[in-house]
Structure 1
Amino acid sequence: MCIAALVIGSSLVGGAIAATILDIDLYRGFAMASGFGWYSLAGILMGDAFGPVYGGVSFMIELLRELVALVLIPLLIRSRPCTAIGYAGATAMDFTLPVIQTTGGVRCVPVAIVSGFILSLLVPVMMLFFVSLAG
């Protein structure tokens, strides 16, 4: 649960920083940052809410997050297992779980499933909440 909370908090901080740098609405930045690696849903929700450019960008953000996670998990999981699981985001319970289990061992699996499950539950809720605030 702590991993999911830290992923949410750090993603929202990153979304706020990106929104400020890119001069977009803060709530759009929060919405874009709330995908947590679920690229198939994030692209559709952002595309429907803000147009195809935001949908495409959101899809790419989440896809790149997953690719970075696939590279970083084996490098970090021995010394920093929570960090490695956090990089996986919502995919920690499905797509990246075999990588987490293979490189981190069985002890990391329950933590990854709980973290991924919490984040997967919150993706549609948080994205739609911030979309509604963005107007």
Structure 2
Amino acid sequence: MPVFTKEALERLPIQLGNFFKKFPPENPNAWTTNPNRQNPFLATRNPQNGLVINPYYSNRRQAEIYKEARLQNLDNLLPQQMSWQKDSTRHILKGLLNPKGKISERKRDEILENRRLKLSESLKKTSKFKNERQKASKIAKPSPF
């Protein structure tokens, strides 16, 4: 049983009417409940030869159809998985997660800080050693004779 009558299809905008003529919805859940029904917004694979069939509508046309359907409150009759919505899952600030530059350039500050700390530690150790040597030399040693 079709959802639209001919009069209802004629009142819709041209692109939306053509879409519903070519792909009439059986019910609002027809795209998700019927696996044999080809989604015109997604690429599919032919089960016999494995070739990929491109989507019937391009991303731009999908967006236009969806916008018109939303204005007519018919967006629930369209397929839910539209390929033009994939950009919403894009990682935000990806450059901060994987910064550019060579490893030596990125770790330069850390390396210089470690080097400065090690140098200060070694200077403390040497000054401590010198002080101990001086104290030891000041203590009178018994003469071997």
Structures share fold, TM-score greater than 0.5: no
Q: Which structure ranks higher in relative contact order (CA pairs < 8 Å, sequence separation ≥ 6)?
A: 1
TM-score in terms of structure 1 length: 0.30
TM-score in terms of structure 2 length: 0.28
Higher share of residues assigned helix = 1
- Structure with the greater alpha carbon radius of gyration: 2
